[in-house]
Structure 1
């Protein structure tokens, strides 16, 4: 199993998603849920393509943390 951090951002009229560990692998959707679903499918397709081409699967080195300030 592979695991990748996904960042989902609110755009003007939709949401966009990307993974810092998979450059070029992006997705969008009209809702956060749709963007997440589309990104899941995009990552699956990206990883499948890498495996078919016998290319290495990038290791996930990214992480996210919320920082609170007052």
Structure 2
């Protein structure tokens, strides 16, 4: 699992007319979910965000052409 230290995102929760909540992360396309309660939607959104970030990392690693030179480094957005 990826470890995110001091990383925050904007979660948007929409109360649905027929009950429950839909939710998404503004900064990360594809990180969206729903829940019967606001608390459930929050927990589901954390899981969805983690899955999207992990999937993006795997896809990125697979897209590097074999034999090509590539470099990975951590970027600190807090500075």
TM-score of the superposition, structure 2-length normalised? 0.63
* Cα distance between partner residues in 1 of 2:36 and 2:46: 15
Return the structure number with greater relative CO, CA threshold 8 A, min gap 6.
Answer: 1
Q: Greater Rg, structure 1 or structure 2? A: 2
Query: Aligned to 1:4, what secondary structure does the other structure show?
Result: coil
TM-score of the superposition, structure 1-length normalised? 0.70
Q: CA RMSD in A?
A: 1.8
Unaligned runs of 5+ in 1: 56-70
Among residues 23, 33, 41, which one is paired with 1:17 in the alignment? 23
Unaligned runs of 5+ in 2: 62-79
